[in-house]
């Protein structure tokens, strides 16, 4: 939060200009207090919402500037504010209604206006006039953060989110804004390290919040993070071994390192939790297919002959056949291939196993899907 002095000189400059440069501090305070009287009179007759909001803002600004001069030491060096108590009573309620004005603009999607109004409330929170009054700073800073984030003012949004985090009523939502601000401001390794540490802490505090989990996945699945992803998934599975998505993620990390049997086991755990979980079922089929292709490649390059080669070829065929029921199940559950593209691998399996009729049926599906894409 900016210092109140900066607020006075930059935001309240128009009011300062109106009191005259030749007046002493006491006279300036007196003149500004008269302006407050006039503005309150105007507010009492206001019928237009926008005019009422702008007048309320002017009252708050002018009162804060009045208090600034009113609290200056007199000739004896004493500080005896003359108008403070009266202005606390009459202006504090008006400032509270400024929040309503900000929400009025927010609901109209006049975001720039809404943020300006809410920022006035925030900037005056530390004023001696309002410091000991009931304030909705959590609510106001949360919406100021939300508005700033929507305007891509990430640094400002994070600043307001930090304030909103202190209010238990808004801490959860403010934390989500803050972490998203950090995500948009990653420029170096230090930023990334701070971001992932904060994100992991939030995920631990609110494991039910799927947004944090998704953001962690986005971070860890970026290039060069495979090892970190594996560590994260293993740690998460220790906390909750019934999460099918985690088992699928474990399987995916194992697939990337060609650990086919381990991946099959991980995907099998996901299927045990949800017997119709299409990504897991499909990937078991893909793992068996990939394992068979790898075995075939090794066999072709080995130069092995005779009986041992025949036995090895039978083993390769057996692994190919193991992929078939899983790919067929994926076809049954996802016939239009909206979730997984089962047609090409299933055709390959049918072709290798010599099931020509089934292969031709799938080839027709493949040809039609290619035509649709053109």
pTM for this prediction: 0.63
> Which residue in the block uniquely carries the two structure tokens 């004023």?
127
The confidence score (pLDDT) of residue 230 equals: 83
The confidence score (pLDDT) of residue 7 equals: 44
Compute the radius of gyration of the chain from its Cα atoms.
34
Q: 327 CB contacts (<8 Å, ≥6 apart)? A: 282, 285, 286, 289, 342, 345, 346, 349
CA distances to 58, 112, 121 from 61, rounded to whole Å, are 5, 19, 10
The confidence score (pLDDT) of residue 212 equals: 83
Ranges of residues in the chain with a pLDDT under 70 are: 1-21, 223-224, 302-306, 370-374
List pLDDT tens digits, range 111-137: 999 999 999 999 999 999 999 999 999
The confidence score (pLDDT) of residue 191 equals: 87
């Amino acid at each position: 939060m900016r210092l109140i002095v900066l607020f006075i000189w930059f935001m309240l400059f128009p009011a300062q200009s109106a009191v005259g440069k030749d007046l002493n501090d006491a006279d300036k305070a007196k003149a500004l207090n008269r302006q407050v009287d006039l503005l309150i009179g105007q507010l009492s007759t206001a019928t237009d919402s926008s005019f009422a909001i702008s007048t309320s803002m002017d009252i708050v600004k002018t009162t804060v500037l009045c208090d600034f001069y009113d609290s200056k030491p007199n000739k004896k060096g004493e500080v005896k504010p003359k108008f403070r108590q009266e202005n606390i009573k009459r202006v504090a309620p008006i400032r509270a209604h400024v929040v309503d004005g900000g929400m009025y603009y927010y609901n109209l999607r006049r975001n720039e206006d809404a943020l300006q109004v809410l920022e006035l409330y925030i900037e005056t929170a530390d004023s001696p006039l309002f410091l000991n009054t009931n304030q909705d700073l959590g609510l106001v800073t949360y919406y100021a953060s939300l508005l700033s984030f929507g305007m891509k003012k990430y640094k400002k949004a994070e600043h307001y989110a930090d304030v909103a985090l202190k209010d238990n009523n808004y801490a959860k939502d403010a934390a989500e804004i803050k972490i998203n601000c950090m995500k948009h401001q990653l420029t170096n390794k230090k930023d990334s390290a701070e971001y992932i540490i904060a994100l992991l802490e939030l995920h631990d505090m609110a494991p039910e919040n799927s947004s944090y989990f998704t953001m962690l996945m986005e971070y860890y699945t970026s290039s060069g993070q495979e090892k970190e992803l594996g560590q994260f998934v293993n740690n998460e599975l220790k906390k909750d071994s019934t999460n099918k998505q985690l088992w699928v993620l474990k399987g995916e990390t194992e697939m990337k390192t060609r650990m086919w049997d381990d991946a099959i086991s991980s995907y099998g755990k996901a299927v045990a939790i949800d017997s119709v979980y299409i990504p897991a079922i499909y990937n078991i089929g893909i793992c068996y297919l990939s394992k068979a292709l790898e075995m075939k490649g090794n066999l072709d390059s080995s130069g092995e002959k005779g009986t041992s080669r025949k036995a090895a070829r039978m083993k390769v065929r057996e692994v190919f056949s193991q992929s078939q029921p899983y790919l067929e199940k994926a076809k049954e559950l996802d016939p239009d291939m909206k979730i997984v593209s089962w047609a090409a691998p299933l055709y390959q399996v049918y072709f290798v196993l010599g099931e020509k009729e089934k292969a031709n049926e799938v080839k027709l599906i493949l040809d039609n899907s290619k035509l649709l894409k053109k």
